[in-house]
Amino acid sequence: MDTRIFYRYCQSLSKYYAVELIACHPKKEVVKGITITPYPRYKNRVVRVLFSWLLLLPKAFRAKAALYHLHDPELIPLGLILRLYGKKVIYDIHENIAEDIFDKEWIRFKKVWYSLYNFFEKPALKRFHIILAEDSYLKRYQARTKNCLVIHNFCDLPFFRPFITDTADRDPFKLFYIGILLENRGILEILEAMHLAKKKGYSYELHVVAELYTQVSDAVVALPFFEEIKHQVIFYGRKNLEDGYQISKQCGIGLCIIHPMSNSIESYPTKLFEYMAVGLPIVTSHFPLYKSVVEENKCGYTADPKNPDEILESMLRISLSKDQNEMATNGRKAVEKKYNWQNEEPNLIKLYKNILSRES
């Protein structure tokens, strides 16, 4: 139920086409008009990267699709085989995958994987239609193919409107986070900021909508001060987007603390615009790209993502401010004007129509 894939692409495309989504899912069913074909989630990353394309191949052929849209780099071999059979293929690149290899701690032999990815990507760029989710790596791909288009992963306004609530109903000392929860998403620094706040007489409550992986859970519990604040942290686990943002209605600050990595510094985090859409003032990392959104639109503050003192300072600037309603309004207006899926959707539909009207 990925935000970009299911809630944006599939929903938009289903207005014009029959859409089948092959993805990790517990059962075959139709959700919001989208046929979901289940595929098992492999915990072993090596198995997933090396063999998922092969295991997905029969499902892809059974779909008998007019166009195949791939969202994972490990599916490049699958796409190349589909092209051999004359199928039309889009490869959707969500991040600077090649550079991201060096930021993933679990990957060994990084240079080998980097070379392997580039080996498969080169023919793919010639054979696929390429969609990029960000402007930041457009330069890399424009130098390699003319067949690419940027479609930003901005939020769907109608979807988020039900989760807008009056600022008076939000608790400025309740924090909200939704998304993938890893150490590089700043969870340890956020918890330390909460502990520092407690020492100063302020009590924050953190609401986390995310799967708590064992490694992260162990790191959280190992914090020397966690026992003092554990009653202030609520982990809800993985939830669908609707249920997740229902929880956000009680909170007064949206957190988007991301460590500096090759991908993060120059890529928009999706949750930034989702928080703005529902009227949550934001505390986020102090990267220039993030500042250009949050501080220029006066809808929050930024901080060094590895400095709990700075994170707390930004949190308190919002919690103790009389301008919370103004920040909420500014964020919503910015999304309504610029950072929304309604501006991006026509580009996706136009691309599909152009591809489907051509010969293979």
310 and 165, same structural domain?
A: yes
Statement to judge: residues 179 and 131 lie in one domain: no
pLDDT at position 253 = 97
- Structure confidence by residue, pLDDT tens digits, 33-44: 999 999 887 777
Q: What is the pLDDT of residue 97?
A: 67
pLDDT number for residue 360? 54
Confidence at 140, pLDDT banded by 50, 70, 90:
confident
42-68: b or e for each residue (b if 16 or more CB lie within 10 Å)?
Answer: eeeeeebbeebbeebeeebeeeebebb
Nearest of 132, 120, 135 to residue 91 by alpha carbon: 132
Q: Are residues 186 and 327 located together in one domain of the fold?
A: yes
Per-residue model confidence (pLDDT) at position 317: 96
Per-residue model confidence (pLDDT) at position 271:
92
The answer on 192 and 149 residing in a single domain is no
Given the DSSP bridges, would you call strands 29-31 and 34-39 parallel, antiparallel or unpaired?
antiparallel
Instruction: Give whole-number Cα distances, 96 to 93, 100, 160, 267, in Å.
Output: 7, 6, 28, 9
pLDDT in tens, 236-252: 999 989 999 999 999 99
Angle between helices 187-199 and 214-221 (to 10 degrees): 20
Whole-angstrom Cα distance, residue 124 to residue 131?
12
The count of domains in the chain is 2
> What integer pLDDT is reported at residue 105 of this predicted model?
67
First to last CA, the chain: 30
Question: Which conformational region is residue 321 in: left (phi greater than 0), alpha (psi within -120 to 50 degrees), or beta?
Answer: beta
Domain holding 61: CATH number? 3.40.50.2000
Confidence tier at 302 by pLDDT (50, 70, 90) = very high
- 139 lies in the same domain as 173: no
User: Same domain for 95 and 168?
Assistant: no
Query: Is a pLDDT exceeding 60 seen at residue 31?
Result: yes
Same domain, 239 and 324: yes
Residues 310, 353 within the same domain = no
Q: Are residues 238 and 185 in the same domain?
A: yes
The pLDDT value recorded for residue 102 is 60
Same domain membership, residue 307 and residue 174? yes
pLDDT at 146 over 90: no
Range among 32-46, 139-153, 160-174 rated most confident:
160-174
What pLDDT digit, counting tens, does each position of 82-123 carry?
Answer: 999 999 999 998 876 666 666 666 667 677 777 887 777 888
Averaged pLDDT score across all residues of the chain: 90
What is the pLDDT at residue 22?
Answer: 94
Examine the domain organization and report whether 240 and 278 are in the same domain: yes
Q: Do 94 and 175 have their domain in common?
A: no
Find the domain containing 133 and state its range.
3-154+340-357
